[in-house]
């Protein structure tokens, strides 16, 4: 059973702090293993990728078969049922439309001194997108990673996806095709991250790596950061549902389980102002666990990390939500819009009883690659800007240099950076002599 908390209890603050600070990531120490894998890939290149793929994914590759051929992709996607094909196409269309609105504009203007200032946005040259393929295969992750990159204008997009025993979900290949990705490597794990970061004879290095993965993938991304950019270090999935009693307990139970079934370390929390309703939702979760396909995994998640929190009012609920800073936040209350305005720390917000979080995972439009582990306090979900960079622009005229140059020289002198100041003063002197 999950933990039941009540803000009226004397020990609530201690119990809530324990809930916030509970460690949900893997206890497995993977750093040494990952560092060894990265070292092998850097030193041995393709040979290391072949050996590691045989070791972890149990099938043999050659440099010529690292990537799926066009014929293999075409043959695989022909097997995708029409209903799934149409659903994936609809998802891609909606995700692309949403992200196209995020494209920023360049700017140039002349300020009061006469200086011309501005900025210019440009895409990163290449991006490597990691797609899980172990315990579960997620074509939706292909769309969520590749489409924002394509919208940003990234010219070279590659996907790495593990293919255990040589098997691949055809939907992953179709999603890549719909997203504009041409190169798909059947390589996974930390070795895929290392290959994309440092390159091998066959695989070209990229500028940025994005996408979710297990502890080995996450650790590898952390280790190669600086050599390449990364999106984030994602931890186990999580959902917070804020609901009043005027909701269907079974619906909310399914929403809580939608994240619990991802991972034994996932966390599902319900906040409500009605204790009886909280118990009803918990009972509905237990009933659904009797028949859920992933009941063993979801059951462990719910038992070890689940929580039902009873609050005095919805202002308390908003305050607790901001402390939790959840990856996914569902708000199912009478005035959900007003409460959503008060919830400022969340990766994604789903407003109203007819907006289950699962819509966001697949078809809503916003990205489902979101900050976890309370990092929504300071970071955002994956978006077009993650694949772009801003270059600032400055253009001085003689008049503007006369207006602001002396102050620059003064500040340079205060920092004892003589050449800085002289580079400005030399120009000012030339202007005065003219």
Spatial separation of the C-alpha atoms in residues 224 and 239, rounded to whole Å: 29
Is residue 327 annotated as part of the catalytic site, yes or no? yes
Bridge partners, 67 (sequence order) = 185
433 CB burial (10 A radius; 0-12, 13-18, 19+): exposed
Q: Which of 264, 328, 330, 368 is catalytic?
A: 328
51 CB burial (10 A radius; 0-12, 13-18, 19+): middle
Spatial separation of the C-alpha atoms in residues 281 and 25, rounded to whole Å: 26
Instruction: With beta carbons less than 8 A apart as the criterion, state whether 174 and 138 touch.
Output: no
Is residue 341 annotated as part of the catalytic site, yes or no? no
In three-state secondary structure terms, 376 is: helix
Spatial separation of the C-alpha atoms in residues 285 and 282, rounded to whole Å: 5
Q: What angle do CA 52, 210, 73 make, to 5 degrees?
A: 65
How many other CB atoms are there within 10 angstroms of residue 195's CB atom? Answer: 29
Instruction: With beta carbons less than 8 A apart as the criterion, state whether 219 and 34 touch.
Output: yes
Instruction: With beta carbons less than 8 A apart as the criterion, state whether 158 and 128 touch.
Output: yes
**Length of the chain, in residues:** 434
Q: Which of 238, 261, 264, 327 is catalytic?
A: 327
Bridge partners, 236 (sequence order) = none
HSE-CB for 56 with a 13 A CA cutoff: 21
In terms of phi and psi (left: phi > 0; alpha: psi -120 to 50; beta: otherwise), the region of 25 is beta
Which residues are known to be catalytic? 327-328
């Amino acid at each position: 059973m999950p933990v039941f908390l009540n803000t009226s209890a004397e020990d609530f603050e201690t119990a809530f702090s324990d809930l916030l600070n509970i460690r949900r990531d893997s206890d497995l120490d993977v750093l040494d293993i990952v560092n060894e894998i990265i070292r092998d890939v850097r030193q041995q290149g393709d040979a290391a990728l072949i050996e590691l793929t045989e070791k972890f994914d149990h099938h043999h590759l050659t440099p010529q078969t690292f990537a799926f051929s066009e014929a293999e992709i075409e043959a695989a996607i022909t097997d995708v049922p029409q209903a799934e094909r149409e659903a994936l196409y609809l998802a891609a269309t909606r995700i692309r439309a949403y992200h196209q609105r995020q494209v920023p504009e360049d700017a140039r203007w002349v300020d009061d001194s006469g200086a011309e200032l501005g900025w210019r946005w440009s895409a990163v040259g290449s991006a490597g997108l990691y797609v899980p393929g172990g315990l579960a295969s997620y074509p939706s992750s292909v769309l969520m990673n590749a489409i924002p990159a394509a919208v940003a204008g990234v010219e070279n997009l590659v996907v790495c996806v593990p293919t255990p025993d040589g098997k691949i979900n055809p939907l992953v290949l179709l999603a890549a095709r719909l997203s504009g990705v041409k190169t798909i490597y059947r390589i996974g794990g930390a070795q895929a991250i290392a290959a994309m970061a440092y390159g091998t004879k066959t695989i070209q290095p990229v500028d940025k790596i994005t996408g979710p993965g297990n502890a080995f993938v996450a650790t590898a991304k952390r280790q190669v950061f600086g050599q390449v950019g990364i999106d984030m270090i994602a931890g186990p999935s999580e959902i917070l549902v804020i609901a009043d009693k005027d909701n269907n307990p079974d619906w909310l139970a399914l929403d809580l389980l939608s994240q619990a079934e991802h991972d034994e370390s996932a966390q599902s929390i319900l906040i409500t102002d009605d204790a009886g309703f909280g118990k009803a939702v918990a009972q509905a979760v237990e009933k659904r666990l009797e028949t859920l396909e992933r009941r063993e995994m979801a059951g462990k998640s719910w038992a070890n990390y689940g929580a039902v929190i009873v609050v005095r009012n919805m202002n308390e609920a908003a305050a607790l939500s901001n402390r939790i800073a959840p990856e996914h936040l569902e708000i199912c209350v009478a005035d959900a819009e007003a409460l959503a305005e008060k919830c400022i720390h969340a990766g994604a917000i789903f407003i109203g009883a007819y907006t289950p979080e699962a819509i966001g995972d697949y078809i809503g439009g916003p990205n489902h690659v979101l900050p976890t582990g309370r990092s929504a306090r300071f970071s955002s979900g994956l978006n077009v800007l993650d694949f772009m960079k801003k270059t600032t622009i400055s253009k001085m005229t003689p008049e503007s240099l006369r207006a602001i140059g002396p102050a620059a020289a003064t500040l340079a002198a205060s920092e004892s950076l003589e050449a800085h100041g002289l580079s400005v003063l030399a120009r000012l002197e030339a202007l005065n002599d003219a």
